Amino acid sequence: MTLALSVLDLVPVRTDQTTADAVAAARSLVQVADAHDYRRYWVAEHHNMPAVAATNPPVLIALLAAATSRIRVGSGGVMLPNHEPLVVAEQFALLEAAFPGRIDLGIGRAPGTDMLTRYVLRGGATAAADDAVAQFPQYVDDVATLMHPDGVEMAVGGRREPLRATPNAASVPTIWLLGSSDYSARLAAAKGLPYVFAHHFAGRGTAEAMDLYRSTYTPSEAHPEPRTFLTVNAAVAETAEEARRLALPQAQAMVALRTGGRLAPQLLVEDAEQVTLPAQHQPLADAMLRRWVVDEPGAARERIEMLAREYGVDEVMVHPVAGAHTGTPAGSSPAREATLKLLAS
């Protein structure tokens, strides 16, 4: 099996960074991924989170694609219930036109935000937000149809009018469905679309979701075979001890998220080492670190290859979770870059 590596980036914000710094670090990180032959680089959509700068995937994708020459760039993902399908179709049709053959549209059903932001994104209408979730399967079809070169025709005022996301599409982005439950696995299989289970976040249910997707897959013209890959959190350093130190800020942030705490900007490594988790939370942090790939390069690569074999995939998407030491230049993330370089070497 020839294993391809890809990257997932939430564009984290550290305590020593502004939004501009976090975006600059992402631009440098994608260039490292491009230079080291990573297959794709996806950015997530999260809103109103002090620790995450990835609020607008299309804007980030344009910046990152323009800073690279080869790597596929996409969303992991756009949370479709937050947006009108035509808007998403227009954004990604235009990105595909600007960077042909390099754009992925990963679509998710979760809001990726708190209730207040979700309310504002849907124009102050709670019912509209709930309805958008219920209509998710239709919204997926709408985005795909609108991005197609033929678009659609609609009857308006007794006349049929054309509606297209872009005037003269020569190619379309690849649509992927994303999920952390069996809902998206069933939907992707029914629609003949590529699918990714959020193994890096959920940690459980991956094998079941992939088996469900593969066993119920309905071939489509664009995708005659099921297509999926694995996502993992990773921090890789020259020693396993240093890798564990670098993973500590992200582990503490995830404990806060899972236990109802505030997801504050990510601590620097030295500050994280001064934190003592409540006794009841330490087992959660330990369990996460065991699931993640946190090790020296040889053992980390071996673990990723083992996971790829276990889940029957030829691609693994790495979410680099290595933190930064005190004194790191604010516009960079050298430990995240080192994780990618060490895994690719």
CATH number at residue 224: 3.20.20.30
CB 214 within 8 A of CB 194: no
CB 250 within 8 A of CB 321: yes
Query: What pLDDT does residue 127 have?
Result: 57
Peptide bond into 323 cis (omega under 30): no
DSSP 181: S
Query: What pLDDT does residue 116 have?
Result: 82
Query: What pLDDT does residue 198 have?
Result: 87
How far apart are the C-alpha atoms of 286 and 278, rounded to whole Å?
A: 13
Query: What pLDDT does residue 317 have?
Result: 97
Query: What pLDDT does residue 311 have?
Result: 95
Domain, as residue range, for 92: 4-344
Provide the whole-model pTM.
0.95
How far apart are the C-alpha atoms of 197 and 64, rounded to whole Å?
A: 24
Percent helix, strand, coil in the chain (nearest 5)?
A: 45, 20, 35
Query: What pLDDT does residue 231 have?
Result: 95
Query: What pLDDT does residue 65 have?
Result: 98
Give the tokens for residue 214: 């593969």
Query: What pLDDT does residue 238 have?
Result: 98
How far apart are the C-alpha atoms of 233 and 318, rounded to whole Å?
A: 6
Sites in the chain below the pLDDT cut of 50: none
Q: Is 331 exposed, middle or buried (0-12, 13-18, 19+ CB in 10 A)?
A: middle
Query: What pLDDT does residue 68 have?
Result: 98
Q: Which amino acid is residue 248, in one-letter code?
A: L
